[in-house]
Amino acid sequence: MSLNSTQRFTGRVADYVKYRPSYPREIIAFLHDTCGVTPGAQVADIGAGTGISARLFIEAGHPVVAVEPNQAMREAADAWLGGQDEGLYRSVAGTAEATTLDAASVDLVIAAQAFHWFDLAKAKREFARILRPSGRVALFWNSRRLNGSPFLEGYEALLQRYGLDYSTVAERYANDAQMATWFGNGFLHQASFPNHQRLDLAGLQGRLMSSSYTPEVGHPNDEPMRKALRELFEQTQHDGVIDLVYDTRIYVGRVSAAGYQ
């Protein structure tokens, strides 16, 4: 299965829009109160996808330019956010390594759930180019808990068994030490906030199919995976729902064009 992130989500946009979790609002307060990001700061959302992270910042009053290479995902974001009042949203076709944005044009670069797909050295240089001198980078993602309940442990086992390149993708997420290395001397703050989704069976099925490593309809793993998911849900649900639990990790700092090779 291709690791080309610009295309591997194309057939999953509808599920992504409907079933992917958002991020805790505490992220905004953390950036404002702890990290020195001013309310109204201009944000570049890199790998913005369908606009989940962009919406969080728009609702907090930040103007956002969404940078997204996948046309289907970008169009979904445009349909969702393009009517925002006061012109707080616009999108461009670009990548983390070549955003198309002007030099020194934004105050805050964010990337949510997409950072592990970037060429890290090239992205860092591009972030440094588009940021104003006092600008910050905030990188955050939902990290699904792998244990702590029968459902969480069963879901992880299901992905290990039926996911097409699940282990390869999962291993791309950075840990605390790797993020500290990426920021280098510019590393300022990190935090973690609890997050969760409460899903019925249809929601759980949609959440599973929004993941790029799950087999599509017609693949030999598809029907066995769906059957295993239904059985897991029936065994672990309470009042017709399960809790998919995450830790939302955020890393904030300054970057320069040099210092990461």
CA distances (Å), origin 226, targets 12, 49, 166, 206, 219: 16, 25, 16, 11, 12
Tens digits of per-residue pLDDT, 1-46?
334 444 444 556 778 888 899 999 999 999 999 999 999 999 999 9
Residues 201-209 have a mean pLDDT of 94
Nearby residues of 186 by Cβ (< 8 Å), 6 or more positions away: 253, 254, 255, 256, 259
Least confident of 41-45, 139-143, 165-169: 165-169
Answer whether residue 63 shows pLDDT above 90: yes
| Residue pointed to by tokens 């905030």 | 138
Structure tokens of 21?
A: 């979790």
pLDDT at 61: 95
Residue % of the chain over a pLDDT of 70? 91
Round to whole Å and give the CA distance between 91 and 153.
Answer: 38
Helices (H), the chain: 13-19, 26-33, 52-59, 71-81, 120-130, 150-162, 166-170, 176-183, 201-209, 222-236
Q: Residue range 83-93: average pLDDT?
A: 85
Q: Is the pLDDT of residue 160 over 80?
A: yes
86 Cβ neighbours under 8 A, 6+ residues apart: none
Instruction: Evaluate whether 93 touches 71 at the Cβ level (below 8 Å).
Output: yes
Q: For residue 203, is pLDDT > 70?
A: yes
Q: What is the pLDDT of residue 84?
A: 65
- The pLDDT of residue 167 is 73
- Mean pLDDT, to the nearest integer, of 51-61? 96
pLDDT digits (tens, 9 = 90+) for 213-246: 888 888 999 999 999 999 999 999 999 999 999 9
Instruction: Pick 258 or 122 by higher pLDDT.
Output: 122
Query: Per-residue confidence at 172, pLDDT binned at 50, 70, 90?
Result: low
Let me know: does 109 contact 135? Beta carbons within 8 Å: yes
Indicate if the pLDDT at residue 210 is higher than 80: yes
Sign of CA dihedral 16, 174, 151, 237: negative
Please give the mean pLDDT across all residues of the chain.
90
**Residue 260 pLDDT more than 50?**
no
pLDDT confidence of 258, banded at 50, 70, 90? low
pTM of the model: 0.90
